[in-house]
Amino acid sequence: MQETAVKINEHVDREGKRLEDVTPTEIRDICEKVNDTLRP
């Protein structure tokens, strides 16, 4: 879980945004991408 949170924050940082500024749709998309990279 902690690794997922870190990767989500890294993704948001790369986009030059703050977590507070990301829309729910963007968060969902980011979570899907992060989960895809963490699955074996």
Distances (CA, A) of 21 to 6, 16, 27, 30: 17, 10, 10, 13
pLDDT given at position 37: 85
What does the pLDDT look like over 1-40, one tens digit per residue? 899 999 999 999 999 999 999 999 999 999 999 988 888 7
pLDDT given at position 17: 95
Instruction: List the domain boundaries for the chain.
Output: 2-38
CA nearest to 27, candidates 5, 1, 6, 8: 8
Report DSSP letters for 2-22, one per residue.
HHHHHHHHHHHHHTT--GGGS
